Structure 1
Amino acid sequence: MPDDFREFFEERTQWTDTDGSGDHTHPHGTADLSDANDEVPLSRRQLRKSHEKRRNQQIIRIVAIVVVVAMVVGLLVFGYTKLKSWRNARERASQALTADYPGPGTGKVEFTVESGEGPAEIGNNLVKADVVKSQAAFTSAVAANNSTLYPGTYELKKHMACADVIAILSDQSKATGFLQVKAGERVSQVIADAAQLSGISADDFNAVINGGGAGILPAEAGGKFEGWFEPGTYNVKNRNSANDIIKEMVDKRVEKLDSLGAPTGADREKMLIIASIAESEVNADEYYGKVVRVILNRQAKNMPLGMDSTVAYGLGTTADKLTDAMLQDASNPYNTRVNTGLPPTPISNPGESAIKAAMNPPEGDWLYFVTVNLTTGETKFATTEDEFWKLRDEYKSSNSNAN
């Protein structure tokens, strides 16, 4: 046990001064305890522990210093980065403000904003057309004013101020050449607008519409375009063919129906017919589904649908112009006041909300509905004929007071 013995020896052995300089020791090497003020010498083990403790304390101090220095350096680097970023942002903002023409501009530039283009792309095209001086200045001005830029063809000038350009591009009334197909519009209205905006003869459009739609319409449409134009914005200004314009609207419709998971074949046409009636009868999303359920419930009971909107469509007029004779004319295949079943085609181009409602209507036993307030469009639904007549009275009272 040499190690244990060594420790035992070191713990009990003291170092003495052998030169007789004043320390009092006994001959056997033990300390003289007669002087209470003399310090007791440390053993080798105690000395070693003392050195280790001092060394550890020094290491801790060094580590702490290193950590503090690293934190200070990190804060300095972070602050410098932030300051640099702030300065760069100010420089970019300053450049954007100065990189702008004073306006009002000269000459004439016909500029088109395509559907789906954002401020950056529009700004880049404006720079290429020499309308604005800087894309950055343009996009900064759009963001600062929270402006909405509309598709269309606009008349601009060269070297315009960004603010003046934005004022024009955010005003839909100044846009030309873009056809807006709205939910609930009939094909006849869409074609009239397309002919006017495109400059293509209305006869060219009507020739396509009356030609059966070969190569354009799907088979389930039965050669009829009603219901098969997708609402949206179409650039018709620079198109040379009525056929191409019509085909684009039909292709968009088919694409939308596929994306919604709409039924195919004859069921798709039936769904469009029902959706078009709902679109034409009410003016709010909350009512579409209930109107669809009324149509389905009446069909289940073999009841005429009784929709004035279908009668009016068959006569090429509007519901407010119908006469009693018109409402009783059974020769009109769209007269659902007299004839049972669905009309032969859709009666408008239904929007997405009406289509979704036709695909998934709510459950209910409603058989009637009345728009009781023509100003607000408020519509109420009933399950019995007695309830229906009460709603009719409410309609008459409400609208006579409004008049």
Structure 2
Amino acid sequence: MSDDFHDFFDENTHWVEQGAAAPAGNASEPPKPPKSRKEMRKRRAQRRRKRVSGIIAALVVIAVIAGAGYFGVTKLMAWRDSRSQNTAVAADYPGPGYGEVDFTVDDGQGAAEIAQNLVEADVIKSAAAFTSLVSANSTTLYPGTFTLKKHMSASSVVAILSDSKQAAGFLEVRPGERSADVIEAAASLTGIDQSDFDAIVKNKGKGILPSEANGSFEGWFEPGTYNVKSMKTASAVLKAMVDKRIAKLDDLGVPTGKDRERVMIIASIAEAEVNKSDYYAKVTRVIENRLEQGMNLGMDSTVAYGNNVKPAQVTTAMTQDESNPYNTYKIAGLPPTPISNPGDTAIKAAMNPEEGDWLYFCTVNLDTGETKFATTAEEHDKNVAELRQWQADNQ
């Protein structure tokens, strides 16, 4: 009981400094003691409720202030970003511009890097004006050298850089292309004399080709895009494409030596014979099955290569010409070299042919590329008849 009274009087005692006036009214009188323990406990509970209520109220006030501050900062940041973006987009030249600028986009460059280079060349006013348009429209920007002007509008520049036909100075090597066509295009783009390239080819690519190539560039140009305009010699151009091919074959795990050349020959035939990736591994299986059974490959694509024509231009006389080392109708085994530059899919198919016992294949629809495979000559004849009917209906 004594502790309760001590607590009560400690909390209700009012101290007066010496010389200070006493509180007015009844405040100077000491508090009346509780009449009972029950009343004491009641007063103590009331005091505790007041303390808790005060703490809760303080926490609520703090939370409200913090929430309002966060909301205000968020809104302010959003307003700032929106204003910044609008300002960046607005920072654009009206166009059409003046003068002439040769602008190069390197292979692998992103929109931000291209935009910064455009600003430095004084083609566009701000990088943001360019990148926002590219992002909003999911635009593809092509490598190459483009003819632009100073002070162009960002939209005009995007339209040009997204048009591959307006690119110059970059050599694009496509899967299935022959080396002679690639070299001719390289000479045209670089301005290097064709004779410089021919001299290297005649010298069997000494110092450039690996030993597996047996002195032939066919099949040894890696498909892709090359900035040949920046290269000064024919040797540099050819070496860039061959080095990239070797690196890719190593990455794909293609065995070295004679096995590597064999893979390249088979892959090049598959690349030339079909135009759908679904069929590559089946075609390579047909080639392997025919070789295993001692059958001639009988491929129009190899005959065409030996005559420097397209497969559709092969004649019966060509298939009977035994002087053509690429005439697989008359000469057993694989041709002496690849017949084109195969892509990754064809190379993988040459290393891992699909399981099957097919010996024949025929493309029955030249528009869609639909190709049918057969295990017997009779079944193959039906597929050939289907092709002839399609040709008759689509002449």
Q: Please report how far the alpha carbon of residue 304 of structure 1 lies from its aligned counterpart in structure 2 after TM superposition.
A: 0.9
Paired amino acid for 1:228: W
- Per-residue deviation, 1:370: 0.3
1:185-220 CA-partner distances (Å, limit 9, x unpaired): 000100111111111111111112221222211111
Q: Does 1:102 align with 2:79?
A: no
- Aligned pair partner of 1:215 in 203, 207, 220: 207
Change (3 A) 1:51 1:153: same
* Among candidates 189, 194, 199, match of residue 202 of structure 1: 194
Instruction: Return the alpha-carbon distance in structure 1 between the equivalents of residues 42 and 326 of structure 2.
Output: 108
Give the secondary structure class of the aligned counterpart of 2:372. strand
Alignment of structure 1 residues 4-403 onto 2, 5 Å: 42-43=36-37, 53-54=45-46, 56-58=48-50, 60-403=52-395
Does structure 2 conserve the Cα–Cα contact (< 8 Å) formed by 1:184 and 1:349?
Answer: yes
CA 1:49–1:261: 2 relative to 1, 3 Å = farther
Identity in percent: 53
1:93 deviates by 2.2
- SS of the equivalent of 1:237 reads helix
The answer to whether the 8 A contact 1:132-1:159 is kept is yes
- Aligned partners of 1:262, 1:59: CA distance in 2, in Å? 81
Distance 1:77 1:294 in 2: 73
Q: Cα 1:56–1:215, aligned 2, differ >3 Å: closer, same or farther?
A: farther
Question: Partners of 1:305 and 1:51 in 2: how far apart?
Answer: 108
**Structure 1 residue 331, shift from structure 2 partner:** 2.3
Q: Given residue 309 of structure 2, which amino acid in structure 1 is its aligned partner?
A: T
Cα shift at 1:41: 5.9
Over the aligned positions, Cα root-mean-square deviation in angstroms equals 2.1
1:252 is paired with a residue whose SS is helix
Query: Partner of 2:362: helix, strand, or coil?
Result: strand
Mapped partners of 2:77, 2:184: distance in 1: 55
1:24 corresponds in structure 2 to none
Structure 1 residue 351: Cα displacement:
0.8
Structure 2: any 5+ residue segments left out of the alignment? Answer: 5-33
Quick one: which amino acid aligns to residue 216 of structure 2?
K
Mapped to 2, the partners of 1:204 and 1:142 lie a distance apart of 41
Q: In the aligned structure 2, how far is the partner of 1:51 from the partner of 1:310?
A: 108
**Greater Cα offset, 91-100 or 125-134:** 91-100
Normalising by structure 2, report the TM-score.
0.87
Measure, in 1, the Cα distance between the counterparts of 2:161 and 2:348.
Answer: 33
**Relative to 1, partners in 2 of residues 1:70 and 1:221: Cα closer, same or farther, differing over 3 Å?**
farther
Write the distance in 1 (CA, Å) between the matches of 2:108 and 2:306.
37
How many residues end up aligned between the 2 structures?
365
* C-alpha contact 1:272 1:346 (8 A) present in aligned 2: yes
Match for 1:259: what amino acid? D
Structure 1 distance, partners of 2:41, 2:333, is: 104
**Residues of 2 paired with 1:223 and 1:49: CA distance?**
108
Could you list the runs of 5+ residues in structure 1 that have no partner in the other structure?
A: 1-5, 11-39
Structure 1 residues 375 and 48, CA gap change in structure 2 (3 angstroms): same
Q: Distance in 1 between matches of 2:125 and 2:72?
A: 32
What is the distance in 2 between the residues matched to 1:363 and 1:201?
Answer: 48
AA in 1 matched with 2:215: G
**What's the TM-score, normalizing by structure 1?**
0.85
- Contact persistence 1:96–1:140 (CA under 8 A): no
